[in-house]
Structure 1
Amino acid sequence: MPSDTGPRFDPATLSAHAASNRAMWESYSDEYQAKHGGDLAASGGFAWGTTQIPESELRVLDDVAGRDILEFGCGAAQWSIALAQRGARPVGLDLSERQLQHARRLMAEAGVDFPLVHASAEAVPLPDASFDVVFCDHGAMTFADPYRTVPEAARLLRPGGLFAFNHHSPIETICWPLDANEVSDRLALDYFGMHVFDDGEEVFFNLPYGEWIRLFRANGFVVEDLIEPQVKADTTSSYRSAVSLAWARRWPAEEIWRLRKP
């Protein structure tokens, strides 16, 4: 595959929330990479979440060599670069052209080449059963509608394929007021009916645990694991304040779903 693949991107086809998030990421990508690129480089791109827990410790993806892998919302493709260096055949998909420009730069620096797709994870311009793994570390499973992305993941996976993604836990979501800079130790948002959240800067998504499980089952997935990492005492993060890190030592701030397509 060439470095860029899929039909020409048409912004007019985007949902309203996708268009809003695309605009946000186009303007924020440079600042994001300047702020967090050091953390991602230090981990070698092969680590999960806002505290960069090594994949070698969590073992979410298993052996990646020789596997066709789609990164669902790849940003600057630090994860996909690490996968290519380990013998995988990754494809990076992102809604932000500016993020993909950063991905091309980092790919050139790393001396690897793989396809990048400029598209929404809600409507991926790639054939059915193209991948052994579809995965996401925040990315599309935070900023796109799961009622659209989960069916897309199921469509894109081959039988026996793995769907794995990390996102903010529902517990953290309902403890973080939309107008606040810090997470709270009190419930702040409704749990029942949670789906779409708009804090005025970005639109993001989450569901109650039961609804996640029903959505997975409706699309043919079997839940293999739900990993809830606990932040260690000496953990630092460019993503999280001291308050947020302290919170994540007591409650799950992020979680990783591991799902199988039979």
Structure 2
Amino acid sequence: MTEHSPREGTHRERGGTDVARVPAEGTHSPGEASEHANAERILGTVGPAARHPGPTESRSASRLWWDADADDYLAEHGSMLGEREFLWCPERLHESEAGLLGEVSGRDVLEVGCGAAACSRWLASRGARPVGLDISGRMLGHAAAANARTGTEVALVQGSADMLPFAAESFDIACSAFGGVPFVADSEQVMREVARVLRPGGLWVFAVTHPIRWAFPDDPGPDGLTAVQSYFDRSPYVEIDATGRATYVEHHRTLGDYVSQITSSGFRLLELIEPEWPEDHTEVWGQWSPLRGRTLPGTAIFRCLLPERPESAPGR
């Protein structure tokens, strides 16, 4: 799993045009601790707001947030993610076991939202030619340092998932393990961009927090089992600073939204995977826990194929 996973502990509750009523993690009284307190201090975050940031503001917020939080995030989660592992989700689904990307040796692979690029280094170790793309320069700095430590060369590019800086038909496979997709204002544009840079017959596999989790507080305990808002409310979760600038943005789409975006962008959906929580998995990762995992799906993985172009009829 890449380092771009949802804000752990964020309680989203929206109603009309009011400011969110349940405090988000990062909206705390003086003296209260927060897992993201350092990033919030750097960015001057004051709390959540009912806003609908467009593409430019969403990109800006993601760059600001992950640059500010990268060091702390990797200090806490780096040991679980590894430096050369491909972990799809907190349910501990590994690509080495799942094989969702198929044969990667000799293939050009784009990792969207690579964070510190552990997945890309795993791909390189299997003979692929990966490129890791991320919006955060700080995360890419960690990726470059990990490349040097492991002796694994992975190309790293700074950019946004909805504006891929690559030529058409540059890759055989694209993948994203909790990277990029939920943080852009228009996820269908991500699908179109991935379709553009993939060669015909290419695979696009991406993992996101299961959309049903949007209806529940991001709490690993019993409170996280009670729905507090509508699954169909697509209002984004936004945090702002004192000037009103967005410092964190996360967008919500339903399962149906994702399926529609995938198919309208030219892909064929091969599989929708909802990993179950392993019985022997006792660790808590933010909002993911054995308690919730036994009851609610936490991750949705979409496996998509870009069909080959039909051959021209004889004489045409």
TM-score over 0.5 for the alignment? yes
Distance 1:244 1:150, change over 3 A: same
SS of the equivalent of 1:184 reads helix
Deviation per CA, 1:119-165, whole angstroms, max 9, x where unpaired? Answer: 11111111011111111000112222312211111111110100001
Higher helix share: 1
Match of 2:211?
170
Q: Which runs of 5+ in 2 are unaligned?
A: 1-54, 241-246, 308-316
Match of 1:142?
182
Aligned residues: 245
**CA–CA separation in structure 2 for the residues paired with 1:202 and 1:248:** 26
**CA–CA separation in structure 2 for the residues paired with 1:238 and 1:143:** 23
Match of 1:153?
194
Q: TM-score, normalised by structure 1?
A: 0.87
What's the offset of the Cα at 1:187? 2.0
**CA–CA separation in structure 2 for the residues paired with 1:60 and 1:48:** 10
Q: Quick check: 2:283–2:289 contact (8 Å CA) kept in 1?
A: no
The answer to whether structure 1 residue 96 and structure 2 residue 136 are counterparts is: yes
Q: Percent identity?
A: 34
The answer to whether structure 1 residue 62 and structure 2 residue 108 are counterparts is: no
SS of the equivalent of 1:133 reads strand
Q: Quick check: 1:195–1:207 contact (8 Å CA) kept in 2?
A: no
Bigger radius of gyration = 2
SS of the equivalent of 2:115 reads coil
**CA–CA separation in structure 1 for the residues paired with 2:279 and 2:205:** 26
Q: Quick check: 2:238–2:248 contact (8 Å CA) kept in 1?
A: yes
What's the offset of the Cα at 1:244? 3.2
Distance 1:222 1:86, change over 3 A: same
Q: Quick check: 2:162–2:193 contact (8 Å CA) kept in 1?
A: yes
Partner letter of residue 231 of structure 1?
W
The answer to whether structure 1 residue 247 and structure 2 residue 247 are counterparts is: no
Deviation per CA, 1:35-91, whole angstroms, max 9, x where unpaired? Answer: 11100128x412211233221322211111011000000000000001001100000
What's the offset of the Cα at 1:233? 2.4
The answer to whether structure 1 residue 118 and structure 2 residue 163 are counterparts is: no
Match of 2:5?
none
- 1:223 is aligned, of 259, 269, 272, to 269
Greater relative contact order, per chain length (Cα 8 Å cut-off, separation 6+): 2
**CA–CA separation in structure 2 for the residues paired with 1:186 and 1:174:** 8
What's the offset of the Cα at 1:174? 1.6
Deviation per CA, 1:209-250, whole angstroms, max 9, x where unpaired? Answer: 222111111111101001100111221446236x73310122
**CA–CA separation in structure 2 for the residues paired with 1:134 and 1:194:** 26
What's the offset of the Cα at 1:202? 2.5
Partner letter of residue 304 of structure 2?
L
Q: Quick check: 1:222–1:259 contact (8 Å CA) kept in 2?
A: yes
**CA–CA separation in structure 1 for the residues paired with 2:79 and 2:284:** 9
**CA–CA separation in structure 1 for the residues paired with 2:235 and 2:270:** 23
Q: Quick check: 1:51–1:237 contact (8 Å CA) kept in 2?
A: no
